[in-house]
Amino acid sequence: MNADASKVPSKIKLHKQSQQLELHFDGEQFLFPAELLRVYSPSAEVKGHGPGQEVLQFGKKDVAITGIERAGNYALKLIFSDGHDSGIFTWSYFYDLGKNQEQLWTEYLQKLHDAGKSREKDTSVVKFIN
């Protein structure tokens, strides 16, 4: 992702009820659903350690943002209700994600479809503990 690294948000707000993170950049406003941020987390768990190593995230429809921590003056660390907390979202990553949100979401839905996966959490699995 290749956004202007000098962009810094003038406003950051978590809307807890709708689970959307709002960021403002130079008069532009982006609303990021928690699910989008979770499935496009810039972490190694999601991105892998190189091109072609991405791991498709699924079952994240109801994921929530449970915490936000600043990472220096350049990024945020988001903590999600499924325990994921290793992605560092730089301002430029947020900006690029915002600018391309519609296309990225469409691509994500297509990848889910192609893999036979769902946004819904799989509740059909029963674990037996001995």
The predicted model gives 28-56 an average pLDDT of: 93
Domain that holds residue 91: 11-115
Give the pLDDT confidence score for residue 125 in this predicted structure.
Answer: 61
Q: Number of structural domains, the chain?
A: 1
By CB atoms closer than 10 A (0-12, 13-18, 19+), residue 79 is middle
pLDDT in tens, 76-109: 999 999 999 999 999 999 999 999 999 999 999 9
Nearest Cα neighbor of 3 from 89, 73, 80, 87 is 89
Residue 36 and residue 52: Cα distance in Å, rounded? 20
Give the pLDDT confidence score for residue 68 in this predicted structure.
Answer: 96
Which amino acid appears at position 73 of this protein? Answer: N
User: What CATH code is carried by the domain that includes residue 72?
Assistant: 3.30.2020.30
Mean of per-residue pLDDT scores for the chain:
91
> At 14, which helix (H) or strand (E)?
strand 11-15
Residue 90 lies inside a defined structural domain of this protein: yes
Residue 130 lies inside a defined structural domain of this protein: no
